[in-house]
Structure 1
Amino acid sequence: MPLAGLLAGCAPLIPPTEQGSAATAPRPAPVASPYWKANGGYPSLAPLLRRVTPAVVNVAVISEVSLEDHPFLTDPAFRQFLEQFDIEPPAPEELRRRESVGSGVIVDARRGLVLTNAHVIEDARDITVTLKDRRSFKARLIGRDPGTDVAVLRIMPLEAPDLDFADSNALEVGDFVLAIGNPFGLGQTVTSGIVSAVGRTGIADDSLGELIQTDASINPGNSGGPLIDLAGRIVGINTALIGPSGGNVGIGFSVPSNRVQRAVRRMLGER
């Protein structure tokens, strides 16, 4: 085989004197980018997340639920067990205190508006919103829309970043996304993935309409947190997951931002 054929596709040969000068040539400065870690000189999402994560909050809820439909109250074996120890079973009309946690996102700091899931604050008697810097505020429910699983809370106006919405109609399968929230009550957590599908239906008996499917990890406690694009804009509000053990298996769902915005305008009485 000719020598030219052996060298096809290989880098051109460089004389030793030129090799030395090429090795010592200064590296070009990186292009200014929100995804470049200046002090490390490598790509990173940290600069973007430093900007957006202060807008993501934890939502703690205290609610009271009726014991009327509790299965133990209608179970004869359970009642017999209580009678053996002379324990009076609770009356069906009694209320049980329940504590739960979820996530939310500040969309208007000047007005103190926070979005979360409608199911997170269901039957809520007391709602507390905690920021990343650990400031906590009592929240008031402004509106709740079960059809989109979105709720609007109001806290006091504050100095904090808020996030803009992206056009969810422009999303395509393969777009990179980040999910931010409070999974299992651990505290703020960021996961990454792609848009796995758009317009996904048939979830939760189809009561939530068309959803964004993503493989960014969404777990219990992530509900109400944002799904954002790489510009730091909200493309969806995380709402559900499919997992045989209750944890993430790479199939999570978010309410598209365009539907969220329409629901918010209705709840605020805006056009």
Structure 2
Amino acid sequence: MKKILSMVLVSALGGVFTLSAYKIFVEDTPSDLVTTTQTQPVSIPTTKVNNTYDAYVVPNLTHAAENTVNAVVHVKNVTLSSGQMTFQDFFYGRSTPRTQVGTGSGVIINADGYIITNNHVIKNAQELSVTMNNNKTYTAELVGADSKNDIALLKIDAEEVLPFVTFADSDNVKIGDWVLAVGNPFNLTSTVTAGIVSAKSRDLSGASTQSFIQTDAAVNPGNSGGALVNTNGELVGINTAISSQTGSYIGYSFAVPSNIARKVIEDILEYGNVQNGILGIQGGALNSEVAGKIGIEETEGVYIDGVVEGSGADNAGLQKGDIIKEIDHIKVSKFSDLTGHLSAKRPGDIVHLKLLRDGSTERVAVTLAKNDTYNMPLVGRLKNTSKSDLKPFNLKNGVKIIQLDEEYANYWKNNGISEGSIITTINDITVNTIEDVQRILKQRSPYESLRIELINTNGERERFNFR
């Protein structure tokens, strides 16, 4: 009996030990209910932070695309070409001209059928037609063009009310803004690509004559003349060029800002040509090298090296050595910042400049003048004459040389011609204004010699014949 009780006791104790071991070493211990909240880690910023930013979000571009795609047209340009001269042409005459077809894009800018495109899209056109996004085709009329800004204006007559794109203020475009390029690359109609504004006031010529908006939206041959629009579907530029070694898109494209394009077409409609308001300065953009040469510390802005006599700059008191830092509250870092803004202005418009003069800041209002200067090949820069220019020489007509062409300056000086000399005739045609000079040179045959008659600063008549 005692043995049985002992076995029962041992069994019970074993069970207790086994259960205890299980509770201690095997079974999970129930945890208390814990409510967790997500908190941002505490950190000390290395720079002062005033604003917090949401995560990067791509904007919805469908609205802009829908507003634009029906207002962008396919432009077809039919030209006649005789090709390059060959030896056979000298013996048998020129071959029959061949028809060539070029294509591009255009943007309808009002319901009456006015279309803006690039000048190079319609250059030398014998026939022009445009095809809408709904596949309707219309014959187009060239209203006018401006080769300098590469803008042309077309007109079509349509029975229906046409969709169109409204202009935005391109001065308000910021680097990093989203934009859409809409056009017809490779004859693929109604193509939309997206990108951001990569730079502004971009000059590809090297002569500070251009002021493009640069984007990374894909643009290819056929996109020329198409729309660059903001996220509201408003026109901020006319796609014009790409920078490429292959002729196709490799990263960047360039557009004429809408403010310049709009001004050009308004001038064409109102005046028949483009009205250019000029400041009347000579100079260039600053950088470390230029600043070192002229002995200043400023490396941004436009340095005035000379002021054109009788110009708006001259009348406003601008001086050699002044540095233009702003125009109409827009920062001027390079020369194309200045020329780009002026390209959207007319004679008589007033611009407000912020200048740096002898270390002090000056603010000056300048009334832009009509462009009365012209850079004549071989000779140099000319200007219209006043009575005071002609009186010392007892002349009634002529244009004045104000700056000799750098390449040929020594030739002219060695022949007694300097700044201040008066050109009276070109190719035996009397010259009164620089418009006369431009017209004579434009109408001159490339095989015709160039004959120039001048009065030098000593009052002596000189004649030159160039072949």
Please give the range of the TM-score, normalised by the shorter of the 2 chains.
Answer: 0.7 to 0.9
Equivalent residue for 1:65, pick from 73, 78, 81: 81
The one-letter code matched in structure 2 to 1:221 is G
Distance 1:47 1:257, change over 3 A: closer
Return the match for 1:169 from 168, 171, 177: 171
Aligned length: 221
Specify every segment of 5 or more residues in structure 1 that has no aligned partner in the other structure, as ranges: 11-41, 80-87
Which residue matches 2:40? 9
| Greater radius of gyration (CA) | 2
SS in 1 for 2:109: strand
Pairing partner for 2:186 from 162, 171, 184: 184
Aligned counterpart in structure 2 of residue 199 of structure 1, from 184, 198, 201: 201
SS in 2 for 1:191: strand
Distance 1:45 1:62, change over 3 A: same
Q: 1:103 to 1:159 in 2, by over 3 A?
A: same
- The answer on whether the counterparts of 1:132 and 1:188 sit within 8 Å (CA) in structure 2 is yes
Superposition RMSD in Å: 2.8
Kept in 2, the 8 Å contact 1:226–1:238? The answer is yes
Deviations 1:229-269 (A, max 9, x none): 00111000000001111111111100000000110011111
Aligned to 1:32: none
Q: Which moved more, 1:238-247 or 1:204-213?
A: 204-213
Task: Flag the 1:132–1:90 CA change in 2: closer, same or farther, 3 A.
Answer: farther
Deviations 1:166-195 (A, max 9, x none): 111111110110000000112220000000
2:249 is matched with 248
User: Is the partner of 1:260 in helix, strand or coil?
Assistant: helix
| Deviation string, structure 1 residues 26-79 (Cα, Å, up to 9, x no partner) | xxxxxxxxxxxxxxxx97422332232110100011011242xx27x26xxxx7
Call closer, same or farther: CA 1:194–1:66 in 2, change over 3 Å.
Answer: same
Q: CA deviation at 1:93?
A: 6.5
Structure-1 separation of matches of 2:151 and 2:228? 14
* Structure-to-structure mapping, 1:93-242, within 5 angstroms: 94-109=96-111, 111-157=112-158, 158-201=160-203, 203-204=204-205, 206=207, 209-242=210-243
SS of 1:119's equivalent?
helix
Residue ranges of structure 2 left out of the alignment (5+ in a row)? 1-33, 42-57, 272-345, 347-467
Q: Secondary structure at the match of 2:69?
A: helix
Distance 1:43 1:145, change over 3 A: closer
Instruction: Give the whole-Å Cα distance in 1 for the aligned partners of 2:38 and 2:181.
Output: 48
Secondary structure of 2:128's counterpart equals strand
CA distance in 2, matches of 1:7, 1:51: 43
Letter in 2 for 1:60: K
8 Å contact kept, 1:214–1:251: yes
Closer/same/farther in 2, CA of residues 65 and 199 from structure 1, 3 Å limit: same
Moved over 4 A (4+): 204-208
Q: Which amino acid aligns with 2:198?
A: S
**Could you say if the C-alpha distance between residues 147 and 44 of structure 1 is closer, same or farther in structure 2, counting changes exceeding 3 Å?**
same
**Structure 2-normalised TM-score?**
0.44
SS at match of 1:124: coil
Q: Counterpart amino acid of 1:59? A: V
Matched-pair identity in %: 39
- How far, CA to CA, are the matches of 1:62 and 1:219 in structure 2? 20
Secondary structure at 1:187's aligned position in 2? coil
Contact residue 116 and residue 225 of structure 1 kept, 8 A: yes
Change (3 A) 1:8 1:262: closer
Given that residues 147 and 207 in structure 1 are in contact (C-alpha distance below 8 angstroms), is that contact kept between their aligned partners in structure 2? no
* Distance in 1 between residues matched to 2:137 and 2:245, nearest whole Å: 34
